[in-house]
Amino acid sequence: MPLAAADPKSGDLKSGDPKSALRRQALARRRDVDPATRAALSGRLAAVGLEWARRWRPRIVAAFSPIRDEPDCRPLIAALQAHGFATALPVASGRSAPLAFRLWRAGEPLLRGALGAPEPGAAAPLVEPDLLFVPLAAFDRRGHRIGYGAGFYDHALRRLRASGPIRAVGVAYSVSEIAAAPDEPHDQRLDFILTEREWIDARGRG
């Protein structure tokens, strides 16, 4: 049931914005997700994510390295690579730098990035994905998300959408759903959200 509603440890990089309380509440719920639910989402993500990738045939699929209590995308990445898809991970050079994406395959080295997430090194080619699996703290059924407050994915999605059609899929536990996420003109909506229970089509929901 949807609930109404920094530093790297809290996940709240911008404690003064109107989304801060919702973010903190959502992250607290996410921390309490049980291992069975975590495994269910990871397995569902690999199966459903691959199914939709095979339908859409993207050139590059971006996922993310899990940090803190985020869902585990590694089985999805392995499934995508096993079926011939090129995969990438996000790279953040700092809070003021734009988010970029670099090609990565399982087994290749990862470095600790500026914000603490494992990232491909500078030798990995930069790419522009057209299917993105996006992390979040909270979401609503209109496709609005609350991230960690730095706006990385909003900027990245805006840039990618300006260049051509892409699809953005939020990855979240069902406890991360809220009734309505505050939205601003610069916010970029998700097209879909995948939880351990549902595949939510957020397009056209207003």
DSSP-H helix ranges across the chain: 20-31, 35-56, 74-82, 152-163
What does the domain layout of the chain look like in residue ranges?
A: 20-201
Cα–Cα distance for residue pair 159/128, rounded to 1 Å: 10
Digit-coded pLDDT (tens) for 8-51? 333 444 455 678 999 999 999 999 999 999 999 999 999 999 99
Instruction: Judge residue 181's burial from the number of C-beta atoms within 10 Å of its C-beta, 0-12 exposed, 13-18 middle, 19 or more buried.
Output: buried
Q: Which residues of the chain have pLDDT under 70?
A: 1-17, 95-96, 206
pLDDT at 6: 35
Longest dimension (CA), the chain: 44
Query: What is the DSSP pairing of strand 99-103 with strand 86-92?
Result: antiparallel
The answer to whether the CB of 142 falls within 8 A of the CB of 206 is yes
Rg over alpha carbons for the chain, rounded to the nearest Å, is 16
**What is the phi/psi pair of residue 149, to 5°?**
105, -5
Q: 172 - beta bridge partners?
A: none
**What is the phi/psi pair of residue 168, to 5°?**
-120, 120
Domain 20-201 adopts which CATH fold? Answer: Rossmann fold (3.40.50)
pLDDT at 4: 38
pLDDT at 93: 79
Cα–Cα distance for residue pair 14/137, rounded to 1 Å: 13
The amino acid that residue 82 corresponds to is A
pLDDT at 52: 97
The answer to whether the CB of 101 falls within 8 A of the CB of 60 is yes
